Amino acid sequence: MAVTLQARMALVEAYNQNMDWKTVAVSHRVTVDTARRIINRYIKTGKDIECFVIFTDNIGKIKAGKPGGNKPTKITEDYKLVLEVEVEKHPDFTLQEYVEKMVQLGFPRVHFSSLSKTLNSMLFTMKKAYYEPAKRNAPLTKESRKEFAQWLAENYQNFHLIWVDETGLDLYLTRTRGRAKKGKKCTPVYNNQRGKHISVTMAVSAALGVVVSKIQIGGVGRDDFIGFLLDLKDQLLNHPSNKPYLVLMDNAPAHRNVEAIMEPFENIFTLKRLPIYSPQLNAIEFCFSNLKASIRHLLRVGGPVDDLRLTNETLTACRTRILTAYVEESVNRLDTHTIGQHQTYVLVKGLQEALQLKDM
């Protein structure tokens, strides 16, 4: 048990006044060996308390300074400055990897628990890591976003905007966050099988809503996307506009070299590519978020998918049928108001962030 400050002072005072310090030690529940060590330290160093510096505050109350003697700390201010740089450079390192890295840089080795306390004092906390491609916020990418944002800000009022893209879906559409009692894990039950992969390709407009949607099993290839654009052309012929249609799409593999094939239809719509890694400039990405949220809701309230199996229907066919039905219902829920809100966000917030060269 640690010796209290009052006991240490009583022992030193008894020694200075030639009193029986052993009796004082017993009265403070301090062993004789410990009391002797405290007094010997006082005799050698002249300090009143072992490893403590005694002082008084402005009201005369005795306080103790920081324990540890005169031993210098290994984690200096220079250590912290270099550590901060390394943490920002390698945010996913373990504590032991930080220790080894600092040793390689010429700093003394410290225990990982000391390093953890230091990081906490520097306001570095553990959190979920979101990995991003190296080019996502590279200077050239930001410049291309800025160039696109300047063009769109100057010209979007001259066009009727159509947003086109595709997304993949399966039965593993789950929320990453949930609720549970404190101290317990949140463990919702989900399907053992995710079913077949389904792709949804959509073209949305703030004025027309969902212009075209296509649901297919498997991924979307270039031929599939070209067929979708031809379907979009036919739909737009049924909706004449006083402004030319501008179809905005990203740089997915299925979209490669489609401009040449669509060139004969430039009198109907014009294709415009978004900069790479620019989800904040693509209104349909937000529509897909609404779509997936609606499907997750239907999967939760609809109960286990396998329980909806029809007579003589295979499990795979059942899962594909239910997911397709949920996708169709969720697509129908996307209206012009929702799409218009997402488009407004892109034209206001998204363009502003791109013009300011912010990360996305």
DSSP, residue by residue, 85-117: HHHHH-TT--HHHHHHHHHHTTPPP--HHHHHH
Q: Is residue 71 part of a domain?
A: no
Q: What is the structure's pLDDT at 44?
A: 78
pLDDT of residue 304: 79
Domain edge (last residue) among 64, 88, 104? 64
106 and 208 fall within a common domain: no
Q: Which residues contact 56 (CB under 8 A, 6 or more apart)?
A: 62, 63
Shared domain for 230 and 267, answered yes or no, is yes
Question: pTM (2 decimals)?
Answer: 0.70
- In angstroms, the CA 13 to CA 5 distance is 12
One domain, residues 87 and 178 = no
128 in a structural domain = no
Q: Do 319 and 171 share a structural domain?
A: yes
Which residues are bridge partners to 161 per DSSP? Answer: 246
Q: Are residues 219 and 348 in the same domain?
A: yes
283 in Cβ contact with 204 (< 8 Å): yes
With respect to residue 209, please indicate whether it lies within any of the assigned structural domains.
Answer: yes
- Identify the pLDDT of residue 178: 82
CA 36/CA 54 separation, integer angstroms: 19
Q: Three-state DSSP class for 314?
A: coil
Pair 84, 207 in one domain = no
Whether residue 209 sits in one domain with residue 310: yes
70 in a domain, yes or no? no
Residue 130 covered by a domain: no
Mean pLDDT by 10 residues, the chain (360 residues): 79 87 88 87 65 42 50 86 93 93 93 92 88 89 95 95 94 76 79 78 95 94 94 92 93 91 90 94 96 91 82 87 93 96 96 93
Answer yes or no: do 100 and 185 share one domain. no
CATH number for the domain that contains residue 327:
3.30.420.10
Q: Output the pLDDT for position 67.
A: 52
- Torsion region of 295: left, alpha or beta (phi above 0 gives left; psi -120 to 50 gives alpha): alpha
Contact 290, 334 (CB under 8 A): yes
> What pLDDT is attached to residue 37?
86
Please indicate, yes or no, whether residues 316 and 201 belong to a single structural domain of this protein. Answer: yes
Q: Is the residue at 84 inside a domain?
A: yes
Which of 15, 37, 64 represents a domain boundary (last residue)?
A: 64
280 and 328 assigned to the same domain:
yes
Number of structural domains the chain divides into: 3
The answer to the question of residue 317 being in a domain is yes
> The domain containing residue 115 runs over which residues?
77-121
Same domain, 26 and 50: yes
On whether residue 133 sits in a domain, the answer given is no
Are 148 and 238 within one domain?
yes
